[in-house]
Amino acid sequence: MGEKYRVMLCAGSRPELIKLVPLYRLLHQNRIIRPVLCLTGQHQDLLQPFLAEFGIQPDVMLQGETVHRSLEELNRRLFRQLPHAIKRHAPHLVIVQGDTTSALTAAVVATRLSIPVAHVEAGLRTYDVNAPFPEEINRQTISTLASWHFCPTERNRQNLLNEGRHPAHLFVTGNTGIDMLLQTLGQRQKDPQNPDPAPPRPYFLITLHRRESHGYPLRRILNALRKFAEAWTDYDFIMPVHPNPAVKSAVHALFQGPENVRLLPPVAYGRFVGLMQKAFAILTDSGGIQEEAPALNVPVVVLRDKTERQEGVQAGCLRLAGTGPNGIFTELALLIQNPDHYIRISRAPNPYGDGRASERIGVHLNKILTGQHFNDDKGLYNSE
Ligand code: UDP
């Protein structure tokens, strides 16, 4: 066999790495593709322990910031560094995931270098450029640049069809985050070091980080959660705190104090999966956790006004509480006081995939790179 097709996967943030690892591992077994992993340095310090945990050595590691910089500074650095990195490896295709500044910049740079872009987790929308910010802008722009769109759900594919994308360029695959979750659960079950004892008391697991919540909305959420924790002392409230200084300082100022509140530094992925699995419920503004928790049958209260994960709301696994105290109190109290409601949410079907998204993406990539995609009538408009 001759030279393999080089496919560069770009990741900058924790969720991008988590969601690209299963695809990267799979492409290592691929007979015609050589994957090249490029880390952009966007969450440099946060990603280091994850690389060790996943046993992954990136092929390219751009030197990022150790302190949090503005989006403009991040953008400037990436526009300076990414063209060299991409040119040096001369990939046949660049893969970006999701909606970060790293993903957007990599898509722009690859397009300028005439390298086709494939987008993993394509077609998520709120159609509000301020929520989530800047993710909605990033993902809409990536969709205009990408040649190939791997959509987690049929709803995501419909969004892209409505925006005028050609059906032959859209594939419904499920979310690769579910692949990672199920693989990790499988490993944890086999690990004798991991007996995972039942928690002594039921707990809410909390994560908050969204940029559009920084400032007043975050303070409002934290005040509501603190009052709730003070009122419901039979429950624990466990929160791994995101390292962004805007989040960290607000959490330590407003949420620290009650005896049943435990603040933790960011937690390794495997341990976080264990924490999610055993939680009474998860309170979050995270995108990825809205997908993972339904696969674990754990109810999720979304601490945002809007979500692009509407499938989860419709399926009944996600409850959108908003950022105000009334919505948050109502949703949390319902979970505790109404067992039928709790059971309905935890048993609602997970719409985000069956753990085989990377496998499907791999099959499509083989066809795309060898030019078979457009010759294969069966595959042409098939969402599978
Ligand atoms: N996560 C983790 N440790 C933590 C918090 C989150 O491993 O302490 C994982 C979580 O399971 C999910 C991802 O990080 O896979 C979500 O990241 P985040 O909420 O930062 O980003 P988003 O999904 O909102 O883009």
What are the pLDDT digits (tens) for 311-340?
999 999 999 999 999 999 999 999 999 999
| Same domain assignment for residues 26 and 163 | yes
Residue 111: is its pLDDT beyond 50? yes
| Same domain assignment for residues 21 and 111 | yes
| Same domain assignment for residues 252 and 125 | no
Residue with CA nearest ligand 1 atom 1: 269
| Same domain assignment for residues 122 and 62 | yes
Residue 187: is its pLDDT beyond 80? yes
pLDDT of residue 271: 95
| CATH number of the domain bearing residue 82 | 3.40.50.2000
User: Ligand 1 in contact with 353 (CB < 6 A)?
Assistant: no
174: left (phi over 0), alpha (psi -120 to 50) or beta: left
> Mean pLDDT across the stretch 210-233?
96
User: Ligand 1 in contact with 22 (CB < 6 A)?
Assistant: no
Confidence of residue 384 (pLDDT cuts 50, 70, 90): very low
Average pLDDT score over the chain: 94
Ligand 1: centre distance to CA 382 (Å): 31
Judge whether 354 counts as a catalytic residue: no
| Same domain assignment for residues 363 and 321 | no
Domain count, the chain: 2
Q: How far apart are CA 17 and CA 50, in angstroms?
A: 8
| Residue from 14, 209, 220, 309 carrying the catalytic annotation | 209
> Mean pLDDT across the stretch 213-232?
96
115-139 pLDDT per residue, tens: 999 999 999 999 999 999 999 999 9
Residue 249: is its pLDDT beyond 80? yes
> Closest ligand 1 atom to the C-alpha of 180?
15
Ligand 1: centre distance to CA 209 (Å): 9
pLDDT of residue 77: 95
User: Which residues constitute the domain of residue 152?
Assistant: 5-174+356-369
Going from the C-alpha of 357 to that of each of 120, 151, 173, 353, 370, the distances in angstroms are 10, 10, 5, 7, 20
85 in any annotated domain: yes
Confidence of residue 376 (pLDDT cuts 50, 70, 90): low
188 in any annotated domain: no
User: Ligand 1 in contact with 286 (CB < 6 A)?
Assistant: yes
Q: How far apart are CA 216 and CA 230, in angstroms?
A: 21
User: Ligand 1 in contact with 269 (CB < 6 A)?
Assistant: yes
User: Ligand 1 in contact with 18 (CB < 6 A)?
Assistant: yes
> Mean pLDDT across the stretch 28-56?
94
> Mean pLDDT across the stretch 261-275?
96
pLDDT of residue 375: 65
User: Ligand 1 in contact with 292 (CB < 6 A)?
Assistant: yes
Residue 93: is its pLDDT beyond 60? yes
| Same domain assignment for residues 126 and 272 | no
Residue 195: is its pLDDT beyond 90? no
376 in any annotated domain: no
Residue 377: is its pLDDT beyond 60? no
Confidence of residue 60 (pLDDT cuts 50, 70, 90): very high
Q: How far apart are CA 355 and CA 297, in angstroms?
A: 15
130 in any annotated domain: yes
pLDDT of residue 65: 74
| Same domain assignment for residues 120 and 240 | no
Going from the C-alpha of 201 to that of each of 206, 228, 260, 362, 373, the distances in angstroms are 16, 16, 10, 43, 53
| Same domain assignment for residues 329 and 209 | yes
Q: How far apart are CA 82 and CA 273, in angstroms?
A: 32
Ligand 1: centre distance to CA 266 (Å): 9
| Same domain assignment for residues 307 and 159 | no
Ligand 1: centre distance to CA 206 (Å): 11
Strand partners, 316: none
| Same domain assignment for residues 342 and 360 | no
pLDDT of residue 116: 98
132-158 pLDDT per residue, tens: 999 999 999 999 999 999 999 999 999
> Mean pLDDT across the stretch 278-300?
97
3-state secondary structure at position 142: helix
Tokens of 129: 């450029």
From the CB of residue 231, how many other CB atoms can be counted at a distance below 10 Å? 12
> Mean pLDDT across the stretch 38-43?
94
Residue with CA nearest ligand 1 atom 25: 287
| Same domain assignment for residues 142 and 210 | no
From the CB of residue 230, how many other CB atoms can be counted at a distance below 10 Å? 13
Handedness of CA 114, 120, 121, 123 (dihedral sign): positive
pLDDT of residue 43: 86
Residue with CA nearest ligand 1 atom 9: 269
Strands (DSSP E) found in the chain: 5-11, 33-39, 60-61, 93-97, 117-120, 148-151, 170-172, 203-207, 236-240, 261-264, 281-284, 300-302, 318-320
193 in any annotated domain: no
User: Ligand 1 in contact with 14 (CB < 6 A)?
Assistant: yes
Out of 269, 271, 290, mutate this one to test ligand 1's pocket (max ligand atoms within 8 Å of CB): namely 269
190 in any annotated domain: no
What percentage of the chain carries pLDDT values higher than 70? 95
Residue 11: is its pLDDT beyond 60? yes
User: Ligand 1 in contact with 287 (CB < 6 A)?
Assistant: yes
> Mean pLDDT across the stretch 344-369?
97
Q: Give the global pTM.
A: 0.95
380 in any annotated domain: no
pLDDT of residue 64: 86
61 in any annotated domain: yes
Ligand 1: centre distance to CA 31 (Å): 32
Ligand 1: centre distance to CA 284 (Å): 10
Confidence of residue 191 (pLDDT cuts 50, 70, 90): confident
Residue with CA nearest ligand 1 atom 10: 289
| Same domain assignment for residues 227 and 286 | yes
